[in-house]
Structure 1
Amino acid sequence: METTSAFRMTVRPDNVAVITIDVPGEKMNTLQAAFGEQVRAILRELKSRSGLEGVVFISGKPDNFIAGADINMIAACQRADEAEALARQGQQIMNDIAGLGIPVVAAIHGPCLGGGLELALACHRRICSDDGKTALGLPEVQLGLLPGSGGTQRLPRLIGLSRALEMILTGKHIRPRQALKMGLVDDVVPVSILADAAAALAKKGKPSRSLPLAERIMAGPLARSLLFSVVSRKTEQKTRGNYPATARIIEVVKTGISQGSGNGYAAEARAFGELAMSPQSAALRGIFFASTELKKDPGSDAPPLPVQSVGILGGGLMGGGIAAVTALKAGLPVRIKDINSAGINHALRYSWDLLSRKVQRRHINAAQRAREMALISGATDYRGFARRDVVIEAVFEDLALKQQMVDEVEQFAAPHTLFASNTSSLPIGEIAARARRPEQVIGLHYFSPVDKMPLVEVIPHTGTSAETISTIVRLAKSQGKTPIVVGDSAGFYVNRILAPYVNEALRCLVEGEPIEHIDDALLDFGFPVGPIQLLDEVGIDVGTKIIPILEQAYGPRFTAPTAVAAILNDDRKGRKNNRGFYLYPAKGRKSKKRPDEAIYSLLGVAPKAHLSGEQIARRCVMMMLNEAVRCLDEGVVRSVRDGDIGAVFGIGFPPFRGGPFRYLDVLGAREAVAELQQLAARYGERFAPCERLLAMAQSGEHFWPPAPQPVAAKPAQ
């Protein structure tokens, strides 16, 4: 049976050929290995036609150009040379497009990422829509890879070395106006005229380009050498050697610049193949697949209820953040209730500031800001709440207060209104204990700052209905969040595995390990911030508040060092009152934060590094891993997928390690148990391996199904 091609050609009356990209049966266009022959067939047809004045590549999808290459192609590779061959095939197709004798234009609307941008770079010109959905980027580094179809060679020659390195090393998305300014596209137009504008651009012929003066200067040998040196140093400082793709990107770009594009393409394909077989890329791709799968998880089998408007109780930092993602991401009308107008104004300011930053960056204009702000209103009473389908409570962590909120919502909102509590520690069953409609009460735990942190925990209690679960899961997704459904127990999942990790860091501090030595140890392991700095960021008072709740629920392994009380009694709340474990520069000053030596006096210790960074990291991380396995065993998380995503998206567990369960598979259950037993012998019973780990050490079981093992490339004949 003949396969429908993803590429079809028509010729306009003005003799411009239009190649429409439309992958059959898919919402998003992605490039697949099987498309190679389809593209070659189209190119042969183009060459056979006489009189053509140009070619336009455009998407047949309503809201995306090409979202990238299908990474299942890489998952199917078992050897580096197989992945390298994929890259070489991609390079050849792009070279064939670039080598066409007539002008070729990419007409871009929606995401144009990875292989999609590499195809656009192979075209002679690019034009994009001014739509908010349009974004251009090379995000391969986020999968532990580099662009493998010529992107590392074409992009520097188009926009200059420094800008190209920044784009490829960060994987960041470029908006239309920014793309125009940097020379990535030739024009930005409304989507309604994109096709005609692209055809007109094609008829102008191939461009003659010159880089901006600053980039031309940067292309000189001395400036270029200095740039590579600075970028390499800064990248190493940021990644701490944990992400090999960044070093290979710099190396490959440098090869192309200094030794010519032919050598550059060869180096790019070779590096792509080797990186595809790296454990870091395997882990990062595992996270990608897991999060993609999670997006399709409805939370329960019941169909979700319609949500057309949302109420928020509390105008503090969390309430303001929840209101912002509900209005600005989900596009839903929001009504905020607070006890005074100052709280409402505070919540409104949160959204205003987010939108104003978008205005400054020219992502939106002032009129759009006004329209989005109009979705948010507030009051000091329950006026308007009768029309709210969901009410999200974000008041203080006080059980009686939250029970009162349930009671008031049941009085003043509609009978169908769902009540979601943004609690980080209080059992949802207790919050719902006095409810008249307990089946409509659920937990919805956001992480701060709400507009940036991707995870939410959805926490049903035993009486929560399936419809309530699926409705809240869908609402969270519309807010741009990744929701995981977790069990209603103390600390839920994320805080429960975080607490013993932070506690162990504090024990190291009480033993005399310097503050920065502890934080550096966990930064080297791959966390985005160290555990001591994390306490300063979230607030020492907030960060330690959950510890007694966990200790009461699970026993002495959650007991915090007694000396920590001295820090709290010294009115140290962290960054929010500029009194924490670190000293912070006054506003407007650029000096770096540094540890506050007074902490050591409060604790009665003389700071001196006794343990290596690896020993400190092992102590903290093994406590987290052991607790994660307990959570899985108790059903607090539904699957290893949810457990890994929760840790990576919720607390920044190093993505290149794949999450707690993938990392345990790498360590091996037997090795993990042996290490925990050694730590228990030295530091106490809190390290005792849990029963499931002990059983897995005996059976050799894995948490994840074992992946096919990569095989070294065949030697050249």
Structure 2
Amino acid sequence: MIDYSRGDDGIVTLTLDDPAQSANTMNETYVAAMSAAVDRLYAEREQVTGVIVTSAKKTFFAGGDLPSMARATTGDAPALFTLLSRIKQDFRRLETYGRPVVAAVNGAALGGGLEVALACHHRIALDRPSTRLGFPEVTLGLLPGAGGVTRTVRMLGLAPALTTWLLSGRRLRPADALAHGLVDALAATPAELLAQAREWIRANPGAAQPWDRDGYRLPGGLPAAHLPAFPATLRQQLKGASLPAPEAILATAVEGAQVDFATAQVIETRHLITLLTGQIAKNMIGALFFDMRAVNGGLARPSVEVSEPRRVAVLGAGMMGAGIAQACARAGLEVVVKDVTPQLAARAAGPGITTTADVAALTGCDVVIEAVFEDPELKRQVFAEVLPVLAPDALLASNTSTLPITGLATGVERPGDFIGMHFFSPVAKMPLLEIVVGAQTSDAAVARAFDLGRLIGKTPIVVNDGRGFFTSRVIGTFLDEAIGMLAEGVPAPSIEHAALQAGYPTGPLALADEVSLTLAQRIAASAPVRLPSHDVIDAMVDRHDRPGRSAGRGFYTYESAKSLWEGLAGMATPEGRAVPLADLKDRFLFVEALDARRCLAEGVLRTAEDGNVGSILGIGYPAWTGGVLRFADQHEDFAGRARELAARYGTRFEPA
């Protein structure tokens, strides 16, 4: 896996190149190869003047061996400790070799890949758009356990290491990594990358890590003076949720900063093994690595060959239409945005985007994405207007969040080409695309929509038609549960805090304001069953004129600082009762999990992987669960707990 080559100048180049994989990972092959390479370096030390570590792949190093990590149990802890100690020992031998060692980072270096680079004395990154450096471990329920925490803290100091790198999970561009201290220089070409590495080796024959030099002091000082602030800040960032990985990263950083390097390495290893053998890391790796890889790899894409999109028409230049147009233009597609007037269309103007009010400007477009107001008749009208000028086989897509696709396709000349492409707001930030298949949608249309989604950088899940599809339907149960709690007499702050402590990114009442209570009222009007939440929504909109965030008043007031409206206490029924915090949190998690299971049973969800990924990326289901369906599967007694909730709060919690 590691090619060892020594030049006439005595510089050894170690080239990482796993023959069995498209990317280098910290697997058994790597571990054996690195040990052998370091052994040879020591054996030939007198002939070596320096070392360059680089890669033959498009990326530098992809990180840890996640499939192996996901299988770890508590019984594997001793073997894991031995393995991690060996990896760290080789890194330590490399950085104390007594010769300058340079990482020539020729592509992405994430997680374990960045840890390889940190074990070198100098890091030069190839400055290309695809290159990213960072520690995404926290997003998988893990911590950088091959020296990442120990070295980053010693290099940068406690606060910068935690906030910029370890707790954020950010993947930084080379220039940003340079600005934030983990990269020392940039190179424009691969040749320049290696030339710079050789030049630095010649100029720094006595290179050593900062912490191995006499007089080293931790940047920013020891953590004692600032220690009380760190857990408080982390708790604020987590919004009250208790998540093992961020807490373990903080503990590893703080504890390791107060002891010698070797002891800090042991502390780091022990914390990582605790995470690796726990359920939450397995949940997160399952969803955000395995399920994500399956979804993006086309698990739900029909196996048909289709043409690539070239020219996209977007109907409607509002926030969603403009976001969709910009995403398509950034992917190199030709984009035309149409609205009723040139002035309205101009709202979507940008590089690669033509704006117009003239239907003729859409001539020949092979994809049309409608993003107008959620009115079925209006949507049918705009399709009827543009169909005559489009390419004869153009993909016809509607960006609706709730309206059934089969109904919208009624009256369209080519219902087989009609499909739902539900983007999430804001389009530039939200990674999910929900592709909705109508009763007559063809496999070719599904494949074309999927390919377009991947082309513009989205993760596309494929679901069948139905009221609210998957994401809007399931998040509706979350909002109904929260608003129903108000009717029961649960204090509004308790509702919001319970959701945040369960791991949701925002409180449900705040989310309802963002969605708009007017829209919620319209959706409730067509619901098959009248719920207590619907009465509260009607009262908020009709009696109190509080339609949501866009109007500046909803469950929250927005006049100065955002705060819950004091009138919410009057929404409760007279016989209101206290509800334990554990029940509040479980009601949110279970009501969505139960409905997701119904979606899978009814065929709305085609795959469990789509449900797990869609729930995390699209509707904020807590990532620590591994997704809405995995939460149910891995719960120690899902059916029993569901029946408890049903007995206390209603039959909606009865497990199927």
Sort the TM-score into its range (normalised by shorter chain): over 0.9
CA 681–41 in structure 1, closer or farther in 2 if over 3 Å, else same: closer
Shift of 1:28: 2.4
Shift of 1:175: 2.3
- Map 1:538-557 to 2 at 5 A: 538-549=515-526, 551=527, 555-556=528-529
Which residue number corresponds to residue 142 of structure 2? 145
CA 39–489 in structure 1, closer or farther in 2 if over 3 Å, else same: same
Q: Which segments of 5 or more consecutive residues in structure 2 lack a partner in the other structure?
A: none
Structure 2: which amino acid aligns with 1:286?
G
Shift of 1:406: 2.4
Which residue number corresponds to residue 174 of structure 2? 176
Q: Residues of 2 paired with 1:493 and 1:284: CA distance?
A: 21
- Map 1:492-503 to 2 at 5 A: 492-503=469-480
- Do residues 231 (structure 1) and 230 (structure 2) align? yes
Secondary structure, counterpart of 2:401 in structure 1: coil
Q: Residues of 1 paired with 2:166 and 2:134: CA distance?
A: 8
Q: Residues of 1 paired with 2:34 and 2:649: CA distance?
A: 63
Shift of 1:399: 1.0
Structure 2: which amino acid aligns with 1:235?
L
Shift of 1:605: 6.3
Structure 2: which amino acid aligns with 1:594?
S
- Map 1:84-483 to 2 at 5 A: 84-166=81-163, 167-192=165-190, 193-205=192-204, 206-207=206-207, 219-221=220-222, 224-239=223-238, 240-287=240-287, 288-297=289-298, 299-328=301-330, 330-348=331-349, 373-483=350-460
Give CA deviations for 1:125-163 in whole Å, capped at 9, x if unaligned: 101122222221112111111111111111122222211
Which residue number corresponds to residue 613 of structure 2? 645
Structure 2: which amino acid aligns with 1:320?
A
CA 457–559 in structure 1, closer or farther in 2 if over 3 Å, else same: farther
CA 606–680 in structure 1, closer or farther in 2 if over 3 Å, else same: closer
Which residue number corresponds to residue 537 of structure 2? 564
Q: Residues of 1 paired with 2:241 and 2:585: CA distance?
A: 16
Counterpart pick for 1:59 among 55, 64, 71: 55
Q: Is the 1:84–1:272 contact (alpha carbons within 8 Å) kept by the matching residues of 2?
A: no
Q: Residues of 1 paired with 2:113 and 2:556: CA distance?
A: 45
Q: Is the 2:616–2:623 contact (alpha carbons within 8 Å) kept by the matching residues of 1?
A: yes
CA 155–566 in structure 1, closer or farther in 2 if over 3 Å, else same: same
- Map 1:600-611 to 2 at 5 A: 600-601=569-570, 603=571, 610-611=578-579
Shift of 1:396: 0.9
Shift of 1:575: 2.2
Secondary structure, counterpart of 2:227 in structure 1: helix
Q: Is the 1:305–1:467 contact (alpha carbons within 8 Å) kept by the matching residues of 2?
A: no
- Do residues 39 (structure 1) and 34 (structure 2) align? yes
Q: Residues of 2 paired with 1:442 and 1:458: CA distance?
A: 7
In angstroms, what is the RMSD of aligned CA positions?
2.4
Structure 1: which amino acid aligns with 2:77?
A
Q: Residues of 1 paired with 2:161 and 2:441: CA distance?
A: 51
Give CA deviations for 1:533-554 in whole Å, capped at 9, x if unaligned: 11112222234432333x1xxx
CA 679–178 in structure 1, closer or farther in 2 if over 3 Å, else same: closer
Q: Residues of 1 paired with 2:124 and 2:389: CA distance?
A: 52
CA 207–564 in structure 1, closer or farther in 2 if over 3 Å, else same: same
CA 643–657 in structure 1, closer or farther in 2 if over 3 Å, else same: same
Q: Is the 2:111–2:137 contact (alpha carbons within 8 Å) kept by the matching residues of 1?
A: yes
- Map 1:678-697 to 2 at 5 A: 678-689=644-655, 693=656
Q: Residues of 1 paired with 2:575 and 2:201: CA distance?
A: 68
* 226-235 vs 605-614, greater mean Cα deviation: 605-614
Which residue number corresponds to residue 506 of structure 1? 483
CA 558–390 in structure 1, closer or farther in 2 if over 3 Å, else same: farther
Q: Which segments of 5 or more consecutive residues in structure 1 lack a partner in the other structure?
A: 1-5, 349-372, 694-717
Q: Is the 2:483–2:536 contact (alpha carbons within 8 Å) kept by the matching residues of 1?
A: no
Secondary structure, counterpart of 2:359 in structure 1: coil
CA 408–25 in structure 1, closer or farther in 2 if over 3 Å, else same: farther
Q: Residues of 2 paired with 1:683 and 1:144: CA distance?
A: 32
CA 682–104 in structure 1, closer or farther in 2 if over 3 Å, else same: closer
CA 426–73 in structure 1, closer or farther in 2 if over 3 Å, else same: same
- Do residues 595 (structure 1) and 564 (structure 2) align? yes
Secondary structure, counterpart of 1:564 in structure 2: helix
Structure 2: which amino acid aligns with 1:58?
T
Give CA deviations for 1:179-224 in whole Å, capped at 9, x if unaligned: 222331221121242121122122222447879xxx9796434xx2
Shift of 1:678: 4.4
Q: Residues of 1 paired with 2:24 and 2:578: CA distance?
A: 55
Secondary structure, counterpart of 1:546 in structure 2: helix
Secondary structure, counterpart of 1:258 in structure 2: coil
* 192-201 vs 257-266, greater mean Cα deviation: 192-201
Which residue number corresponds to residue 552 of structure 2? 578
Structure 1: which amino acid aligns with 2:535?
T
Shift of 1:380: 0.9
CA 387–18 in structure 1, closer or farther in 2 if over 3 Å, else same: farther
Q: Residues of 2 paired with 1:30 and 1:545: CA distance?
A: 51
Counterpart pick for 1:523 among 485, 500, 509: 500
Q: Is the 1:406–1:432 contact (alpha carbons within 8 Å) kept by the matching residues of 2?
A: no
CA 109–376 in structure 1, closer or farther in 2 if over 3 Å, else same: farther
Structure 2: which amino acid aligns with 1:344?
A
- Do residues 485 (structure 1) and 485 (structure 2) align? no
- Do residues 11 (structure 1) and 9 (structure 2) align? no
Shift of 1:507: 1.3
* 38-47 vs 194-203, greater mean Cα deviation: 38-47
Which residue number corresponds to residue 25 of structure 2? 30
Q: Residues of 1 paired with 2:203 and 2:462: CA distance?
A: 55
Q: Residues of 2 paired with 1:514 and 1:608: CA distance?
A: 10
CA 598–131 in structure 1, closer or farther in 2 if over 3 Å, else same: same
Q: Is the 1:85–1:269 contact (alpha carbons within 8 Å) kept by the matching residues of 2?
A: no
Counterpart pick for 2:634 among 666, 671, 680: 666
Shift of 1:320: 1.3
Q: Residues of 2 paired with 1:648 and 1:65: CA distance?
A: 29
Q: Is the 1:135–1:174 contact (alpha carbons within 8 Å) kept by the matching residues of 2?
A: yes
Which residue number corresponds to residue 603 of structure 2? 635
CA 174–608 in structure 1, closer or farther in 2 if over 3 Å, else same: farther
Q: Residues of 1 paired with 2:217 and 2:159: CA distance?
A: 11
Give CA deviations for 1:337-378 in whole Å, capped at 9, x if unaligned: 111234323223xxxxxxxxxxxxxxxxxxxxxxxx431221
CA 218–11 in structure 1, closer or farther in 2 if over 3 Å, else same: closer
